[in-house]
Amino acid sequence: MDKTLQGFRSHIIELGYSYFFAKSLLTAVKLDLFNRLGESALTAREMARKTSCNPRAMELLLNTLVGMKILGKRGIWYNNTPLTREILLRGKGGCKTRPYYVGDALNFLNNLWEDWGQLEESLRKGRPIKQHEMYLEDRAVTRSFIHAMHNTAMGHAELLARVVPLKGVKTLLDIGAGSGAFSIHFCKANPGLRATLLDLPKTLEVTREFVANYGVEKRITLLPGDYNKSLPKGFDAIFLSHIIHSEGERENLELMKRVYKCLNPGGRVMVQDFILKEDKANPPFASAFALNMLLYTEKGRSYSFKEIKGWLEEAGFKSISWPRLPLPRDISIVMAWKPTSDRVSLRGAKRRSNPLKRLLRSARNDSQDASRRGIA
Ligand SMILES: C[S@@+](CC[C@H](N)C(=O)[O-])C[C@H]1O[C@@H](n2cnc3c(N)ncnc32)[C@H](O)[C@@H]1O
């Protein structure tokens, strides 16, 4: 076997085995193993007692987690590493003391496990095996979904707030805001900014708690609503994060038309999602996420920049761009402007090319800084 084939073969077989590691981590989170360890060191026998598991089996799991560099081990004692504490311990003050916690997101992924087991069935039928709305009907499920979304958003919300150009923007509408993580950080980074968070009423009950925790409630308005029906008017900027992947092409075109109408002249829209290149295969997380949406929606999937640009152009937007920001899981943002008038928009497009270059440069520096500090 030549070296290239050998390398590719190993990569493929390791990919097949990779769920051993994923499910070990997800099961440990489900057993609340990291919080039970906390700042202490425990033996496998002690951890087995705390989690009602078999001691021999627990030792096997703990050793796997040590091998994955998630736990430390000294003799027969296991402990959380300093980095593990930052992201897998809940912290007494919740998101105030452990802002980069990922346990809710991992618990949510563990809940998707059974659904991904039905991928073959979904592929044969071309239909979802569950409806996405399930996350939004039951209060407890909505809560765990929004907490999971908060964990994932916090991977780059602070970075985004530093690099997205919101100078001079006074009013922002965050459509389908979830926990409000992005708007909270936009407000923190831009003292003159006020944000309106539009979401479904049950979600907003959870959003309210996050907004209060970050102490920005005076500059944030929570607005119950349905983005598929109507939107409030009079905003300088509109942010849609992880919204379009749940909807079909027609619904997204109609949504962009509504967004256009509710922006002030000269206002901007920012669409954040797992955005695909023209081949619809790359970046790979975006194409895999489209498959995830097959499991839960009739028409949802990841979209390419070309598709998003098409809806924005049809809605009337100009100066549409796709700045490549180094964000986790290949998340990216499409930006577009509503012209003040046709003439002004042409001049505006030229003026805006430089801020975007600056934004990219600054994002690269910030992201290197963030990954050095281990938070991205
Ligand atoms: C995938 S989450 C994204 C949350 C947030 N934007 C983020 O990026 O973290 C989708 C959000 O859209 C909200 N949502 C779903 N359907 C909606 C609708 N028809 N009208 C308003 N909000 C909706 C959900 O409650 C949820 O908060």
Nearest CA to 271 out of 244, 249, 247 is that of: 244
CB atoms within 10 A of CB 7: 11
The pTM for the full model equals 0.90
Pocket (CB within 6 angstroms of ligand 1): 136, 149, 153, 176-178, 181, 199-200, 203, 225-228, 241-243
Ligand 1 atom with minimal separation from the 207 CA:
27
Task: Give the Cα separation of 154 and 289 in Å (integer).
Answer: 19
Domain ranges in the chain are 3-87, 147-372
Give pLDDT, residue 92: 76
Which protein residue has the closest C-alpha to ligand 1 atom 12?
Answer: 176
pLDDT at 98: 87
How far away, in angstroms, is 199 Cα from ligand 1 center? Answer: 6
Cα(98) to ligand 1 centroid in Å equals 24
Task: Determine the CATH number of domain 3-87.
Answer: 1.10.10.10
- pLDDT score of 361: 58
CATH superfamily, with its number, for domain 147-372: Vaccinia Virus protein VP39 (3.40.50.150)
Q: 315 near 259, Cβ under 8 Å? A: yes
pLDDT means per 10 residues, the chain with 376 residues, are 97 98 98 98 98 98 98 98 97 79 97 95 94 74 94 96 92 98 97 97 95 94 96 98 98 98 97 97 97 95 98 98 90 96 48 50 48 34
Contact (CB, 8 A) for 239 and 183: yes
Q: Which amino acid is at 86?
A: E
